Amino acid sequence: MLTGILDGVPAGLHLDRDAIAHQLARRRHGHGRSPRQALEKDDLEIVGGVRFGTTTGAPIAMLLRNAEAARWSDVLAVWPTGMGTTGNDVVKKTVPRPGHADLAGLIKYDLDDVRDVLERASARETAMRVALSTVARALLSACGIEVGSDVIAIADVSGDAVDAIIDVDDVKAASARADASPVRCLDDVLGARMVARIDEAKKSGDTLGGRFVVRASGLPVGLGSHTQWDRRLSAQLSMAVSSIQAIKAVEVGVGVQAGTLPGTRAHDSFVVDASGPHRSTNRAGGLEGGMSTGEELRLVATMKPFSTVPGGLPSFDIVTGLADRGLVERSDVCAVPAAAVVAEAMVCLTLADALLSDLGGDSLSQLQEHLAGRRARAAAMTGHGAAR
């Protein structure tokens, strides 16, 4: 069972039960996921902080039960159940998996059973991140901010250029359109090639990674701060997305490509026309100096292939010291589409925290009033609406 507590949510925010279930279902879907996703029903229970579907201002507490819990009641028992040296007869798992937290966790916590590490290190815990983020998403939406994502590469299957990202006019609508694709790709032809690549990897007993983009529209200018390193929104977002299992890189805007461009082409110059001053491009991905610029937020993340492959990767037994194969129970061939949804969740949580830290408000109406003031100041300086 997963538990989560979200504190600091303003009172007066309406939550939609179906919308919460929809977000949890999005995390389970995607071509290349293992059959276990059909078992994980994500039966969420909210046990505090919400009354009649509306937040009260108190901490929001959630429980997410695992449909397979009964299978593991002995293996993962809280109290001793047998007569072994530790009071249990469970066979220990002593072969760490390369690419996972297993070996470092065993050494750090002085453990002798890999299962004590892998259960918490499992990406299953991201289900609670998504659950908690549904509250943050509702808060952002009530403030005119929408978050979405789509997949741009699976392994070596990508567009004409690996950094090619489809521009969208409506972030929410584009993300919904991506959901209709089995790999959450906005390009149907490219998506079909991704599906074929995943099927090929499954037949050969391999796993695949890829890349995805997370977007947010409607952000006010100035979320985050340039005054302290740990208050920079770019740093907070990068940390949040890179905290997801198997994520190896996070880029803001054009990312690494910025290092190949001269200064005259790398930045988002202002142009002035009949509508007033505005930016000609968005290479910065909506972030400058650790703060939001009002342009579309754009993050690109790279996910490695899962290292739990059929047959296991070469490893060793921590007891005997002899060569062995890493533990294999079950694994996805590819979870990039699901990882994009989890990244949305982390972006929602981070943006909601930044919004409340910057503007405050004990109730939703107070926050909205403060936000309107910030947007009015931006509009007065630029001569047009702040969030473009």
Tell which residue, 129, 139, 117, has the closest CA to residue 11.
139
Provide the greatest CA pair distance for the chain: 81
Is the model's pLDDT at 57 over the cut of 90?
Answer: yes
Quick one: 20 exposed, middle or buried, by C-beta within 10 A (0-12, 13-18, 19+)? buried
pLDDT band at 308 (very low <50, low <70, confident <90, very high): confident
SS3 157: strand
Look at the block and give the residue holding tokens 């739990």.
308
Tell which residue, 285, 310, 282, 350, has the closest CA to residue 137.
350
Is the model's pLDDT at 141 over the cut of 80?
Answer: yes
CA–CA separation, 334 and 190 (whole Å): 16
pLDDT band at 40 (very low <50, low <70, confident <90, very high): low
Q: Which amino acid is at 369?
A: E
Q: Which residues pair with 65 in a beta bridge?
A: 43
| pLDDT tens digits for range 261-291 | 999 999 999 999 887 888 889 999 999 999 9
| pLDDT tens digits for range 360-379 | 999 999 999 999 999 999 88
- For the segment 286-307, the average pLDDT, to the nearest whole number, is 95
7 occurs within a structural domain:
no
Residue 275 is predicted with a pLDDT of: 79
Number of separate domains in the chain: 1
Residue 88 is predicted with a pLDDT of: 63
15 occurs within a structural domain:
no
Is the model's pLDDT at 387 over the cut of 50?
Answer: no
61 occurs within a structural domain:
no
Is the model's pLDDT at 388 over the cut of 50?
Answer: no
294 occurs within a structural domain:
yes
Residue 386 is predicted with a pLDDT of: 46
296 occurs within a structural domain:
yes
Residue 225 is predicted with a pLDDT of: 96
257 occurs within a structural domain:
yes
Is the model's pLDDT at 317 over the cut of 50?
Answer: yes
pLDDT band at 39 (very low <50, low <70, confident <90, very high): low
- The pTM assigned to this predicted structure is 0.92
Is the model's pLDDT at 91 over the cut of 50?
Answer: yes
Residue 87 is predicted with a pLDDT of: 53
Q: Percent of the chain scored above 90 by pLDDT? A: 75
Candidate ranges 37-46, 219-228, 310-319; pick with highest mean pLDDT? 219-228
269 occurs within a structural domain:
yes
Which of 26-30, 114-118, 158-162, 256-260 is predicted with the least confidence, judged by mean pLDDT?
158-162
We report the CATH number of the domain holding residue 182 as 3.60.150.10
pLDDT band at 119 (very low <50, low <70, confident <90, very high): confident
230 occurs within a structural domain:
yes
Q: Provide the strand spans (E) within the chain.
A: 2-6, 43-48, 50-51, 54-55, 60-65, 146-154, 157-158, 210-217, 247-252, 270-273, 276-279, 287-288, 291-292, 297-303, 314-316, 323-325
Residue 65 is predicted with a pLDDT of: 87
Task: List the domain range (segments joined by +) for residue 335.
Answer: 84-91+122-382
Is the model's pLDDT at 84 over the cut of 80?
Answer: no
